[in-house]
Amino acid sequence: MATTVADEALKPAAKVTRAGWYALTLVSAAQAISLLDRQILSILAPSIREDLGIGDAELGLLYGTVFSLFYALFSLPLGRLVDGWIRTRLLAICIFGWSLAAGLAAFATGFGLLALSRLGVGVGEGATQPAANSIIFDVFPRERRGTAMAALGIATALGLGLSMTLGGVVAHWWDTRYAGVAAPGGFSGWQFAFLVAALPGFLLAWLIYRMKEPERGAMDGIVSPPDPAPFVASAKVLGAVTPGANWFYLWNHKAGAKQWTVNLVSLAVIAVFCFVMTRLTQAFSPRPPIEALGLAIDPHVLQWSVVAIGAFVILNLFQSFKLTDRATYNVVSAPSVILLIVVAGFQTSINYGVMGFTPSFLNRAFGLSPAETGVQFGLLAAALGMIGPIVAGPLSDWLTARMGGKGRVWLTIFSLGISPFFGIWTFSATNPTEFYLRFVGYSLILTLWLPPLYSLLYDLVLPRMRGITSSLFIIITTMLGLGMGPYFVGIVSDRNGGDLGQAIMSINVVAPAIVLCLLVVLFRVNRDETTMLERARAGGEAV
């Protein structure tokens, strides 16, 4: 798809319009509701388990594997659709769809309908972040994008907090109100909570559907013409990345012997690596099989099978770029882009490992009840998750105005370089009050990296590539973050006799790699930013 250079009259001033702030408000609300519908299962899990008689294994599949696999996979074709179709319309349709799927869980009487609900939520939410990022970058000028990305960080924290408070409070209120009597519709508290969580999405979908679509690329002076066949292109992306279907894609596009060799040899390497990691983790932390869907599944086999699928999907995506969109391949494969996504993936694994097990740590280390932990830690984490981006966004913009892209990198290095030391200090606390006081500093430092990294990443690709770049970001951070972080902490805890504090801090083993990647970015970012158009032209882009 060609791109033309806009004339000087199209270049906007740094001022954000009222329509820009309205768009930011709506897409941030979409991010918050996405996290609400995604995470509410965790707070309702005990009631679901008791009511439906399903085990922790099935709940683990619903919360992690089923959701993350479909979320990551479908974010790729939806991200491509973001780059070619009407983003407001696509986002509205997806919000409506995942809200319907979330509400469907209220009618579940067994594992099957719950799994279908989570699958639908995962598929629908795959468009949220790509569409939100693309829209924001077309209504906010470069020097204000740190602030805009901070709004998404605040929305994420708000959604996480809402999932805990709304899910728990609504379910408890309903069960208490109808204790001993027939509830309307026969719903139990957890079922009613799913219904309540689904409702805001329908209103938001209507508002976003009516919102004006911003002109793609005008804010950067690079206006993209309409894509003549966005749905065909999206379907091709799905076919290109789906294991098995990718071979038909290679054959249909007359891939040469080199592409076939790379694909098959890489698949073999991925399979061998995941097989070896399965055996190593089985020996490190032996676990009994889990019973799910009538099958006995080794949890380590399940874990590394999902990792293998994710790695193969990423390989297939880059091969499809090289065959059919060389400009995107040249731009997205820049060292700074890849390293920033890897940094985000590693840091997300730390975040998921810390946040996923801290409530259990508080219970084991200090004897806090689940209710006390939910209120105290849940609300504190949500509040800090909003304060951090409020500081980081304007700070990122201030550094960008003075140092360019390097200012954002320095802020990220500062945040992620010192955070492990604050983490060790926090999890060595001897009482809850001491822990919470230390956690304030740790959490604020941990949240400083999001706005600068996000805003820098999407400045390094062309406007028409921001949706698919966001999808690549999603699949890598989902596989490394949700897929690896909690798993790593869990097996270390099992290995060391349940010492969660030590296990949580062990996830910081990736911190040196994070800092090393960022130092490389520091020396590469200006070069990759200034050569972006040149690399796009070399791939056939008319810019």
Look at residue 325 in the predicted model and tell me its pLDDT: 87
Q: Is the domain covering 325-543 a CATH 1.20.1250.20 domain?
A: yes
Q: What is the pLDDT of residues 440-461, one digit of tens each?
A: 989 888 878 888 888 888 889 8
Which pLDDT belongs to residue 12? 44
Q: What is the pLDDT of residues 483-527, one digit of tens each?
A: 777 778 877 877 777 787 888 888 889 999 999 999 999 999 889
Q: How far apart are CA 504 and CA 489, in angstroms?
A: 6
CA distances, 111 to each of 54, 368, 496 (Å): 7, 31, 33
Domain map (residue ranges) of the chain: 1-241, 243-324, 325-543
pLDDT, tens digit, 9 for 90 and up, residues 291-307 = 655 667 777 887 788 88
Q: What is the pLDDT of residue 8?
A: 37
Q: What letter does residue 259 receive in the DSSP assignment?
A: H
Q: Please, which residues have CB within 8 angstroms of residue 226's CB and are 6 or more apart in sequence?
A: none
Residues contacting 359, CB < 8 A, separation 6+: 370, 373, 374, 377, 378
- pLDDT tier at 61 (50, 70, 90 boundaries)? low
Q: Which of 344, 343, 361 is nearest to 438 (CA)?
A: 361
Q: Is the pLDDT of residue 48 over 70?
A: yes
Do 1-241 and 325-543 have matching folds? yes
In this structure, whether the domain defined by 1-241 belongs to CATH 1.20.1250.20 is answered with yes
Q: 221 is written with which tokens?
A: 């002076």
Helix/strand/coil (H/E/C) assignment for every residue in 295-308: EEECHHHHHHHHHH
CA atoms of 350 and 488, how far apart (whole Å): 10
pLDDT at 56 over 60: no
Q: Which of 368, 354, 530, 378 is nearest to 459 (CA)?
A: 530
Q: Pairing mode, if any, of strands 222-223 and 4-5? A: antiparallel
